[in-house]
Structure 1
Amino acid sequence: MTAQPLVHQSKQLRADVAVGERTDVPLTRLMVELQAERRMTATRWASGSVSEKELREQRAATDRAANEFRRAADGALAATGREDDHYVAELKHGLADLAAFRERADARSGDADRTIGYYSDLVDHIIRVYQNEFSHAEDPELIQESGLVVTVFTVSEMVARETTILAMAGPSRRLSPSGFAEFVNSVGSQRYQYDEWVAPYLTAEDKAAYDQVFASDGWKTKVRIEDAVISDHQNTASGIELPKEADAWQAAYDEFAPRLAALDAKQGRALLVHADAKATQLENEVIWLIVGNGAAVFAVAAVIVLTTRSVLRRLRGLHQRTVAIAEDTLPDVVARLQRGQPVDDDALPAVSGDRDEVGRISDAFARVVSVSVDGHARLAAERQGFGMFAAGIASRTGNLVSRQLALTDELQDAFGHDEELLARLMRSDQLTVGMRRQIENLLILAGGEIPDPHTEPMRVADLLREAAAEVEDFRRIERQSLDEISVAPRVISEISHLLAELLDNATRFSPPQSKVVIRAELVTDGLLVEIEDRGPRVTAATYEEMNGRLHSAPPYSVLAENAHRLGLFVVGHIAEQLGATVTLRRSVYGGTSAVVILPEELLVPTEPVRAGKEAPRAAATPAPAPGPLDERKPELVLHAKTGAAGRRTPERSPERPVRSRTPVPSATRDGDAKPALPERIPQAHIAEQLRAPHAPETGVHQDAATPEEVADAWADYEHGTQTVEEELRQDQP
């Protein structure tokens, strides 16, 4: 470093000190007077208690302070030979418009916020003049002290703005939303800036002086009112209504404001003294540089530079390795451990054994990574072991439930003539099916899979019926489906389980008298299945949380916290395996709509039923007697699913007659799950005399049923089934 820069800095500091000694006092007085006039203008605008005489006297005081500042600034610039400072010029230009804005205030012309904002802009110009006062300084301490002075003035301005905002509320104590927001910002700004940028840098003496102000009754009242305004305000149609405590603000402000302004001015004077001392110090350094030994300085500098560059180079390399491990390697290792995959030890940092400080830091980081990876490995092993344990328990329990379902099926076959007992068996069957679904949930969450015994595709209509049959309150479910598409055999059980969980959720969280509608239709991306209920309104945040459960595999800790609502986790797990998407959203009816998109690769075309295969069955089975015979109560056949993962359809008893009609969607089929509703078996409980077979009708060759005919026949079937259930309920005591 040569002497010339130091000389230049010294001259700049001397000039800054000379300008500051001439302008700081007038500038501070001008800021205080502008703040007072701004407050009075706001009070008068809001019909407050400020007389015209008081406002006129305050304006005169502001004019005197402005004229004094202009004279001082012009004299300082002439003495130092400098050009007019940019911020000083802006302030002078702003003061030139003071009379025009006063006229607007007197006439209440235009926007009050714009007029008050004009005064605030003038105060901001004053603070920027202070900020630019020692912009030429290169000393860190001087720059820090200059910033401290600017910050204390800013804090005082924030408090003064709070006073102006409360004055704008007027006697009605009502603020506009924008005014209230500005008040809250001012409170937060002045508290934060003092705590973070003023208090830590004050000397012990100055801090004690400020603490005395903050300990005064006026300041405590100010803090109490700020808290009350923020917490106790009322939102009304006409604006923000402030609490009554706000009326005490002006008295409290008048108490501490002069003391606070005096302390701020003291900080400004101390800055000038420090700057003058720094200029003297720089001049002394110039002398020392001239007579000192420059060679020694250069030698020391060279050693420092070389050492620093070496250390920085090693630290830079360590930083790059650390970031790479933290952002890439370690997350990948943890993910592999959670998936049960092996980890390559070469990918992890190793201990090098270097003895210097940088090497020790590198080795310590390597040990931390090793401990972290070992911990995650143990957790992954425990999770996998627990998953296997839970899967085993679920499998054994599922076998017991399957045996229970088989026993229920046998009881149904043995006592099908007892309608009351049959109804109770149906109830038992429903509860057992629900128990099996919960066991399958445990198996799924433990990482297992539900084996699918189906070997033939299943129509979507049958799939929806199978899913509805697993829901306890299945009578509330209304199905609307296509017959032209089927589902691949390998995914029937998984899709049925997924839809059953969503249907169960919809029936449990919607009014008992309401319907739950499940509809399916083909879309561009595959098959859309929508489940819509009339449940309570759910917030957007809750939908976001529930959809998050559908799209992420949670750890066991999250499952434990949500043990009472694991259905969405199960749905999300199955959807991930199927490549399907499940989204919950608000229904147009106010409830919840669950939208499931099954990919196209899970679908297969539905094979049409051939008339040739149905004709022999029609000929072999006598047609039921028409008329009154169909109006009697049919037998309710109970269907139960057996096997922990297998799903079968009970065979029809050969003694039970089968109706020979145009083929309709049957309640069961090979490999299908049990239906949602029982089948109607005509003539099962009519008088023995009426069971005599009629003369066989001439067999007529029938073509394959059209989709419209199938839909009509299915509607008749459902209507008849619902009628039978109503009659059963009426017959029960």
Structure 2
Amino acid sequence: MASGRSIRSKITLLLVIPLVSLVALWGFAASSTTGDALQLLKIDALFGGVVNYTDPLVYSLQNERLASAVQLSEGESDATQLSKSRLATDQARQALLGSVKSDAVQSALTPEMRRLLDAVLAAIDRLPSVRLQVDDEKLDPAKLVLEYAAISDAVHRLYDSFAIGVDMELNRRAKGLIAADQVRELLSREQAMVVAADAKPSHFVLHQLAKIHGTRTWLYQRAMGDMDAELRKPFEKVPFAPADRAVTILLEMRGELTPVIWRASVDPAMAEYSKAIQTAGGVLSARIEPAGMTILVRAALTGILGLIAVLVSIFMAIRMGRGLTRELAGLRGAAQELAEVRLPHVVQRLKNGEQVELPPPIPSGTTTEIVDVAAAFDTVQHTAVDAAVGQAKLREGVADALRNLARRTQSLVQRQLKLLEEMQGQTDDPDSLSRLFKLDHLTTRMRRHAEGLVLLAGGSTGRRWRRGVAVEEVLAGAAAQVEDYTRVRVYPMPEAGVVGTAVADLMHLFAELVENATSFSAPTNEVSVRGEVVGKGFAVEIEDRGFGMTAEERDAVNTRMATQPVFDPASTERLGFAVVGMLAARHGIQVTLKPSPYGGTTAIVLLPSDLMESAQQEPAPLPEPVAVAGGLPRRTRKTAMPLAAPTPEPPPVELPRRPRQGERSPEQARATFSALQSGWERGRQEETDE
């Protein structure tokens, strides 16, 4: 099987890669959009769970810082106001702690947000220490402002981490609101610093006041620039002008500024600004949740539409891939069937001389290239069948020519045999008779070879017997047709006859096997022929004691004789086995070669039961052959060869002694050749031409 991936796997890989990429892109887009929407919803949760509690805390701290500044100012003390402000701060702190511990807030916090929230809580935890310093009056105005500012600064750093996500407009508005809240913190610092200095700040306090005032002015402009008209509207009512004039008086030292005048200028601005922060925060918070829902809906629609597109793409890809794979698989199967089944079957039938029909065309699909390939295979199929038909016609023509030549040769050989028979009957000279017998034997072998050529060309032997013949007689006639017949010994065997229609073919078949046995064994070795009745017919064993065959050669010959009923002109070696195979296939005979115990080869011929018939009683007894020292078997003449029942073995016939070593007497030679002639005559009697 060819190595490599199948077309199915390649098409699948070709489709899977873009589909996986498409699914990945869809998943990334859907997750990004959904993530942004969920982030907006988390920011809304953070506003509700953190900002709504830190903003009151910062406002309470600013009030507590102002009360602490009053506590530190000379000549004024308001313990009740300080206690109230501290109580409000503690309540805001507890509310914040309770809110940030909720699951909604904790799930919305990122690690960075959680770290900044912990910093806020840590700064709040220092508040008791700051209060002790206030009570002990150990803080100057600048130090007082910085201690409380640490908590506010931590809160604003936490606010900066609350990004609004992909909605850049909301993100900008949120940053503007955070900056506005920082402006309130700076205004509160200015308020507390001046109050703590009893409206008579030192140069250091003035310096710090100038820095805070400048930062507040710049940050306010930035905050207003980041907010839209709706968010800026609440800040338009804040009375910054009196507070700014009061700070300018202090910084420029253009006159006296009492704490009462300072508070009257700054407190209204501080109160109104705090309201503006709360109003703008509410507006922004109301915008966040709908924006998140809008993005979430948009993400859902994007995800659903993207999913539908992905599913449709997968469906179409799988459908087209399966269709293409099915077409290619069908084309491959049809091509394999054409190469392995249909064309070999057509070619084999043409070799057998049968009429064939052109195989149906290879089925094609809807793909242009596959249709073209199927058409190309059909063209190849037509070309191969045309070539096979041409070869069959050529083989038939060659076979006809060979049959004609062989028939002519048969006719000439038959006439030659009749002429030799007449000459043998008219000759009494032993030497002449010996030469005539040799010529008769050569002519008989020529006739067998001519018959073999006819058989290879697809014809029949042309000889027929009207009645059945004993198997032993058939084997004796076959042995008489080989060149080295003196080494062949046909052993006695049970009574059995062969139907007359098969006698000529069986005699030829046995002659080919016997001649092969004599050709591939030593001149001094005997070729034994034995037969016996078996369950499925009659078995004949032809055994030689030659060099034998290798297992591969023996298997090849057995396969050829069993599976090749038609002669292949390309296989010109061992033509005798080709003739044997054709005759065996014609009559349903099984021929098998196996190793001989003597090192040679044994041919086992199994004649089926339908070729056998009972032997008939002959009118006259036929003596068995007798071994004669230095000579040939001697038989009595007879005029016909009907089937006969075996008769009791007659006593041996004595042959005259030889006058000298290596020389036969005329009587002995005449008796020898008479026996040979009798055997050959039996092989030629009762035959008819086609």
**TM-score, scaled relative to structure 1:** 0.45
TM-score, structure 2 as length reference:
0.47
